[in-house]
A and B are shown apart, each in its own frame.
Chain A
Amino acid sequence: MTVAGSYTPVFCWRGFVYLVWGNRSGRVGISHNPGLDRTFWLQRGCRQFSLLTPPLPLGTAAFLCDWLQRRLPLKGEPPLQQAAALVNRGRLKLGLPPWEAPPNTLPEPGPAPVAAELALVQKNLAGRILWREEIALALAEHKGAVNTPLEDLLQWLYLAGEVTLLPGVGYEPNGEPRCRRCGQASRLLKVTCAACGSGDCLVCEGCLAMGQARRCRPLYARPWPAQPAARGRPDLDTRPRLNFALTPAQVDAYREAESFVFQGKEKECLLWAACGAGKTEVTCGAIAAALSRGRNVLYACPRREVIRELEVRLTSVWPQLRILSLYGGSPGKFGTADLILATTHQALRFYRRFDLVILDEVDAFPLSEDPMLYYAVARARREDGQTLFLTATPPAGLVARVRRRQVKVIYLPARHHGHPLPVPEILRDPFLSRPGAKRLPRSLVNCLDLTLAEEVQLIIFVPAVKLVEEVVAWLLQERPGPDPNRPWVQGCYAAHPRRDEIIASFRREEFPVLVTTTVMERGITIPRLNVLVLYADEERIFTANTLIQIAGRAGRSPAYPSGRVWFLASRISPAMAVARRQIQEFNALARRRGYLLAGEK
């Protein structure tokens, strides 16, 4: 069996740690090609060049270079003996076996790389952090070709301070290993690596999905070049063309987001919006403000589907802009554009590029559970850049920072139709049984009857996949329906073989009741819908944020803004109470600000 791309050669960096000395001072360096480094330093007047180690994997060499740089006196005469002793101490610090002595012969200096080729590489790497193979792909994508080996060009740029050279897995100053690509230190494996030939190479399993980060694999990074203070793109029309009217709540939030970017006082801001309040439209204000000042903008989101959908929406708002979407399987990973949309995984390839990062669905899987993705998004932002978080249900850490006034907050508490958010009704049934154990609970029957009488649809959320089929069977057993071939209630979950088909059929209103798991908590809008959460006290699944998102499915459409939400459980869990209270607080805020229609309570 072969896999496309499995034979792509992976560049393995093994090189020397060396000491180079000029008239009065020196420095420590690392190189896979010491001849090239000698050329560089000879051009700068350094004459003495000594190799301190045999070829080592990049992670080890980089650690030793840093170790020596901190400890070695780099003024006066070259401290060669002291350097050799320090190298040995550094090796012991990493717990590595002894290695052979460095070669005696010095490498011959070679020709310096061509300036045009260096400029081409610099241009393609700007604002990114990439493997050597990815840089080659980026060059190919932009139809750029170089004759000098790419690693030599990159080494020259590294020596010139234009590019940062990092090991895929490197060491902290205290000798602790850490993945330099995803930033985590817990999922590193010590392995035998045939590329570098060492028996104790380190591989990161945290970011494997984006390619192997190894101790012997080099990462090259270059920040986006700084631009003059008075930036702007006079040739670029950055006005958003909204083909709909913003509601008063959206207008206020839009202006606040705009001023957050214009003023640039705060680094982080949370746009805390009610479910279905139209937060994406509000971000257009922030994006337009940033683009009009010539700033780079990234719109990141953990889900690929959202990025695809967003591309269509933002293209209609800015038909004059080049918009690039990056997600797993998207064509062209290294293009340039006025506005970049990317999944949070793709943000791993950016380095100090964006002045404004908009991070959507901060509490959604996998972003909520993966610190690596936060790290990636934070690194994609310039050091003086800004982040705008968007969500209806911010994680507790972010809320705490808002309360401590470390993060600015913009509220968007009302939906576009001006009706309040449906407040969940808590139905407590102390004798609520497992599906099929007893007859259907009276409260559940009432909810069903009410929904069917109003001729709207109902989604019943359950806390486990296996409950989906059981609840469907329970409902059908009690109420078989007129036609057994066309059941009135169906179920689906993430891995259901007919998931898309069932959801599409439900959207077409071909049956009134759908039983599902939390897979449907986001990203679904059914115009006339009630929602029931069965066993809502199952706190491991139904957290307060999940319940708020679920409740947010109801009442989204002007056709049926008063959709109802029921939480049915044998007890009232803290999450149920928090969810209800938060929805009530949002409605109260919307009412105070006058965003609700007259007469709405």
Chain B
Amino acid sequence: MLLSWLFPRGKACSWCGRPVHQGFFCTSCRQQLLDWQQHYHPCLYCGRLLPLGKQAVCNQCREELPPFQKARSVGPYQGLLKEMIWALKYQGRRSLATPLGHLLAGVVVRELGSGRPDLVIPVPLTSTRLRVRTFNQAELLALALGQELDLPVNGEVMFRVRETAPQVNLSRRSRWQNLGGAFKVTAPGKITGRHLLLVDDVLTTGATASACTRALQAAGAADVAVVTLATGIENLPCFSP
């Protein structure tokens, strides 16, 4: 006790355990997490990452704008961020939720404008999957984010009616059909006319976030912004000058 007071151990990086002076991650991990900013910028609407200096809006949003107002992410779904999401989601390393929620809070403050959301809503899991995994990673992230920014979080406003098939290898139309009616709002009174922030771990096709947004909008939400830990990178075709 006395020794620990005389020689405090200091904080350790939440991922690699190296000493840190402030925040949750060491300089090296932080650098790896934010390295993408030198090469990519987010699509104006869906937040998917596009090569720097190229178009401001991704091809998907050019065809059709997503129903949510804006989506932003901490970084691309690769490298260290992917490992962290994997550890949180599939290995159950829940202690990562707070540092990752802290990163999400940074994205909300920097990227999602000055409007303060009225309520944070995590993307729900089905009850079966919740019992199997024992936690909803989006809810853990939302709680950490809410604590950091002092925002109310409600994971019971919306629930997932049924488990949906993996979105991989499905056409765009099939994805919408796959997710159609998958989400239901249980307490519309709590969201009517309010500015909502939807939280998830990964935004890949954007279909889940869109389905949630449609359900929330149908229940009377004023607008929905989306924040995720990771997103995809859009590979644009190379045009020669």
- Indicate if B162 sits at the interface (CB-CB under 8 A): no
Chain B residues lying within 8 Å of A2, measured Cβ to Cβ, are: 166
List of A residues within 8 angstroms of B166 by Cβ: 1-2
Given A1-B166, A203-B94, A212-B92, are A193 and B134 neighbors across the interface (CB < 8 Å)? Answer: yes
Flag whether B5 is at the interface (Cβ < 8 A).
Answer: no
B95 near A194: Cβ-Cβ < 8 Å: no
Q: Is the CB of A209 within 8 A of B91?
A: yes
In the complex, the answer to whether B95 meets A189 with C-beta atoms within 8 Å is yes
In this complex, the interface size class of chain A, counting residues with CB under 8 Å from chain B, is: 20 to 34
Interface set, chain B 116-144, CB cutoff 8 A to A: 127, 129-136
CB of B93 within 8 Å of the partner chain: yes
User: Does A559 reach chain B (CB closer than 8 Å)?
Assistant: no
Chain A proximity of B97: nearest CB distance (Å)? 9
Are A6 and B132 within 8 A (Cβ)? yes
Q: Check A208–B131 contact: CB distance below 8 A.
A: no
User: Known contacts A2-B166, A7-B129: does B134 contact A212 (CB below 8 Å)?
Assistant: yes
Q: Is the CB of B90 within 8 A of A191?
A: no
**Complex interface residues of chain A between 163 and 212 (CB less than 8 A to chain B):** 187, 189, 191-195, 201, 203, 205, 208-209, 212
B209 CB to nearest A CB, Å: 14
Chain A, Cβ-Cβ closest to B201: A1
In the complex, the chain B residue whose C-beta lies closest to that of A196 is B134
| Contact yes or no, A208 B92, CB < 8 A | yes
User: Is B78 positioned at the interface, with any CB of A under 8 Å from its CB?
Assistant: no
Which A8-37 residues have a C-beta within 8 angstroms of B?
8-10, 12
B204 at the A/B interface (Cβ < 8 Å)? yes
Q: How far is the CB of A356 from chain B (nearest CB, A)?
A: 33
B202 within 8 A of partner (CB): yes
Cβ contacts under 8 Å, A214 to chain B: 134
Separation in Å of the A469 CB from the closest CB of chain B?
A: 16
A1 and B205 CA atoms in complex are apart in Å by: 11
Count how many chain B residues have C-beta atoms less than 8 Å from C-beta atoms of the other chain: 19
Question: Is A3 interfacial (CB 8 A cutoff)?
Answer: yes
Smallest Cβ-Cβ distance to A10: which chain B residue: B132
User: CA–CA, A386 to B90, complex, Å?
Assistant: 37
CB-based contact A205/B93 at 8 Å: yes
| Pick from B90, B131, B135, B204: contact of A6, CB under 8 Å | B90
Given contacts A1-B166, A1-B202, contact A205 B94 (CB under 8 A): yes
Find the A residue at minimum CB distance from B136.
Answer: A194
Chain A residues with Cβ under 8 A from B91's Cβ? 208-209
Q: How far is the CA of A203 from the CA of B202 in the complex (A)?
A: 24
User: A205-B95, A208-B92 are known contacts. Are A7 and B135 too (CB-CB below 8 A)?
Assistant: no
Q: How far is the CA of A6 from the CA of B90 in the complex (A)?
A: 7
> Across the interface, which residues of A come within 8 angstroms of B133, CB to CB?
6, 194
Chain A residues at the B interface, C-beta cutoff of 8 Å: 1-3, 6-10, 12, 187, 189, 191-195, 201, 203, 205, 208-209, 212, 214
15 contacts between A and B (CB under 8 A): A1-B168, A1-B202, A3-B90, A7-B132, A8-B132, A189-B94, A191-B94, A191-B135, A193-B135, A195-B131, A195-B132, A203-B92, A208-B91, A209-B91, A212-B92
Given A1-B168, A194-B131, 15 more A-B residue pairs with CB atoms under 8 Å apart are A1-B166, A1-B204, A6-B90, A6-B133, A7-B132, A8-B132, A9-B131, A12-B131, A189-B95, A192-B135, A193-B134, A195-B132, A195-B134, A205-B94, A212-B92
Closest 8 CB pairs of A and B: A194-B130, A195-B134, A212-B92, A193-B134, A194-B134, A208-B91, A2-B166, A194-B131
